[in-house]
Amino acid sequence: METSERLIESARELLWERGYVGTSPKAIQERAGAGQGSMYHHFRGKPDLAEAAMRRSAAELRAQAEVQMSTGRTALEKATAYLMRERDALRGCRVGRMAMDPDVITSAQLREPVRETFDWLTGHLSAVIAEGIDNGELRPGIDPDDTAALIVAVVQGGYVLARAADSQEPFDRAVRGAVALLAAQSVTAPEA
147 assigned to some structural domain: yes
Whether 191 is covered by a domain: the verdict is no
CA distance 154 to 172: 10
CATH number of domain containing 176:
1.10.357.10
Its pTM stands at 0.89
Residue 97 domain-assigned?
yes
Contact predicate 97/38, CB 8 Å: no
What is the SS3 assignment for 29? Answer: helix
Q: Is residue 36 part of a domain?
A: no
Q: Is residue 54 pLDDT above 60, yes or no?
A: yes
Return the biggest CA–CA distance within the chain: 65
Range of 115's domain? 58-184
Instruction: Please tell me the total count of domains within the chain.
Output: 1
- Of 68, 93, 86, nearest in space to 12 by CA: 93
Q: How many CA atoms within 13 Å lie on the side-chain side of 41?
A: 11
Check residue 97 and report its DSSP letter.
Answer: G
> What pLDDT score does 190 carry?
53
Q: What is the reported pLDDT for 191?
A: 53
With a cut of 90, say whether residue 31 has pLDDT above it.
yes
pLDDT one-digit tens code per residue, 65-82: 999 999 889 999 999 999
Residue 148, amino acid: A
| Residue 179 belongs to a domain | yes
Q: Which pLDDT tens digit goes with each residue over 123-177? A: 999 999 999 999 999 999 999 999 999 999 999 999 999 999 999 999 999 999 9
User: Model confidence at 188, in pLDDT bands (50, 70, 90)?
Assistant: confident
Residue 189: pLDDT band by 50, 70, 90 thresholds? low
Q: What CA dihedral angle connects 159, 24, 45 and 91, to 10 degrees?
A: -20
Residue 7's nearest CA partner among 54, 53, 61 is 53
C-alpha 115/C-alpha 119 separation (Å) is 6
Q: Tell me what the pLDDT averaged over the chain comes to.
A: 93
